[in-house]
Amino acid sequence: MPVSQAARRSFDFLERCLSHVAEHWPQLSLSAGGHVGRLRNRLSQRWPSPEQVHTLFPSLSRHEAATVAWKIGGIEARNRILARYLEKDGDRMLPGLMPRPAPVLSRLHPPLILGFFHVGAPHALGAVFEWLPVPVLALRLGLRRPAVPTLTVLTIEGSTQQRALVFSRAMAHLRACGVVASALDFVSGPSLTVPFLGRSLELARGPFAMARLAGVPLVPLAARWYGGTVEVEVGDELVADGFSSPEICERKLATAATGWLENYLRSDPGEMGLGLLHRLVLSSDK
């Protein structure tokens, strides 16, 4: 067996063990997972490679790009451990990831749409939603048992009409002064493309159209790991102006949301999600 294959299997095994350890010591397991992921990236120089990081952040030196790649590798390993654990027992673990409400959450005034990107710790957002003062309706691909009692999950999978039904339910939730949470960078239906990090990024149109139609603000946010717990970063409220055409209005919202993310990632490129990074690198190869 080639050394690289043996090493990959060893790291996979280690991560599986850590997801079992998470049942008893979640913070320890996630924190250790971060170190294992860093080491894995450092040895493999892959997922992502320093060159890929440098392609997206050309102002970084080679050494800085390598350090960012290690961090992304560590975050990805934590995310894999958490995702594996959530499939088994999300109810028990998620609340412990954010033991106290983040002060920035007091800036949120429902009704509103929380638009997140696949950066940092997206699987841990349920822990953030638990601290919101109103019920949260999360839109995601595929159903998963809600991790906290105030969270409802609807899937965006299905036919056009099924997605329209989910959209309408989310609108009704906003009318009742709730919070709707949705990924902005995952496209399962209508989309729009905006500039991002010198490239272009395809976003889901739904959350922006929803903000426009419901007349509620969209707030970009991202969760990030801090040891074995999570922190959250929240942007300013982005409000749909009532004067532009629907297309221009949605594009303005989308550009503002990605502008927030771009600033966030430029200040800490290691928070870039591996999937998002690959999408952007591939789009630049075209």
Partner 1 sequence: MPPMKAKITPADGVREILRKRVPRAKDLDDLPDELQLGEGGLGLDSIALVELLLECERLFRLPPPLALLDGPPLTVGLLAEHVRASACR
> Footprint of partner 1 on this chain (CB under 8 A)?
159-161, 163-165, 167-169, 171-172, 189-190, 205-206, 209, 213
Beta carbon of residue 155, minimum distance to partner 1 (angstroms, whole number): 13
Q: What DSSP string runs through 214-238?
A: HT--EEEEEEEEETTEEEEEE-PPB
> Which CB atom, from 4 or from 168, has the smaller least distance to partner 1?
168
252-268 CB burial, b ≥16 within 10 A, e <16: bbbbbbbbbbeebbeee
Contact 231, 103 (CB under 8 A): no
CB-nearer residue toward partner 1: 17 or 213: 213
Q: How far is the CB of 159 from partner 1 (least distance, A)?
A: 7
Q: Which is nearer to partner 1, 203 or 234 (CB)?
A: 203
Least distance to partner 1, CB of residue 192, Å: 11
User: Closest distance between partner 1 and the C-beta of residue 254, in Å?
Assistant: 13
**Cβ–Cβ under 8 Å, residues 228 and 31:** yes
CB of 115 to partner 1, least distance (A): 15
Closest distance of CB 149 from partner 1, Å: 23
Q: For partner 1, which is the closer residue by CB, 104 or 171?
A: 171
In angstroms, what is the minimal distance from the CB of 106 to partner 1?
A: 31
- Nearer to partner 1 by Cβ, of 96 and 190: the residue is 190
Tell me the C-alpha distance between 225 and 220, whole Å: 17
- Closer residue to partner 1 (CB): 118 or 205: 205
**Among residues 91 and 157, whose Cβ is nearest to partner 1?**
157
Q: In terms of Cα–Cα distance, which of 66, 52, 61 is closest to 197?
A: 52
Measured distance CA(15)–CA(10) in Å, rounded: 9
Alpha carbon distance 214, 200 (integer Å): 27
Query: Are 121 and 78 spatial neighbours (Cβ–Cβ below 8 Å)?
Result: yes
Query: Which string of b and e fits 201-212 if b means at least 16 CB within 10 Å?
Result: bebbbbbbbbbb
Quick one: 212 or 224, whose CB is closer to partner 1? 212
Six-digit token string for 25: 């010591």
* DSSP per residue, 152-210: EEEE--S-HHHHHHHHHHHHHHHHTT-EEEEESS--SSSEEEEEETTEEEEEESHHHHH
> In terms of Cα–Cα distance, which of 255, 232, 252, 233 is closest to 242?
252
CB 35 → partner 1: shortest distance, Å? 43
